[in-house]
Amino acid sequence: MVRFMRAFGVAVALLLVGAASADRLIFIPTGRKTPLGTIRGEWIAKAHDTSHSALSLGYGLTKAIEIEAVRDALTTGRGRDTLNLSYSFLDPVVGFLPGLTVGVLDAADRTPQRRSFFVATTMRLGLDGDYNSDTPAELTVGGGTERFRGLFVGLSLPLTNRFRILAEHDSRSVRAGVEWWVTRQVAVRNIQEDGASYWSAAFTRKL
């Protein structure tokens, strides 16, 4: 696993020069998944202490199943390797049908947040405007164990097709941030939580 995560770090450096859809909003899961045969990577770190960071690499294994390898040092500064798994029953249809996903975060039970089972549903809402009419808003509601302590909720609100406002509540903390899609495959985020600031970079690529 350690060798795999090191190789992933090299891959990020290469792919960010040329590559973010996600199964998470900020930290909460959503009712959508990485598409079949698509790889998705993300690096997130505290703005003033990048030793507190996390690397993840997800892959759409089938039309319904996604697997994600994670090296998580965001909370303690000490890297711990684990896996996230999810299964999507439905894909969201804009303005009509919500997506529905179940899964487990930290399947190996190695992080301070502990192994957490979840169910999440996401509704995509079509918007009417000059700048964002082709980019739907997304409302996510779900529930889970351990880190979630019950219900969670999140919102992704596009201002244009490249710029979004993000907000979520995981039943413990409120987070908000902005997301800028540098290209159709690369996104950069700034997230605020209880006075702490985080930066992240994410990419997707079809294999």
5-17 pLDDT, tens per residue?
444 443 433 333 3
The pLDDT confidence band at residue 156, using thresholds 50, 70 and 90, is: very high
What is the tens place of the pLDDT at every residue in 99-116? 999 999 999 999 988 999
What is the tens place of the pLDDT at every residue in 177-207? 999 999 989 999 999 998 899 999 999 998 8
Q: Residue 130's pLDDT is what?
A: 64
Write out the E strands in the chain: 38-46, 49-60, 65-72, 80-90, 99-105, 116-125, 137-144, 150-158, 163-169, 174-181, 186-193, 196-206
Alpha-carbon distance of 124 to 195, in angstroms, equals 30
Alpha-carbon distance of 188 to 43, in angstroms, equals 10
CATH of domain 2-206: 2.40.160.40
What is the tens place of the pLDDT at every residue in 63-93? 999 999 999 988 888 889 999 999 999 888 8
Provide the token pair at 179: 């997301």
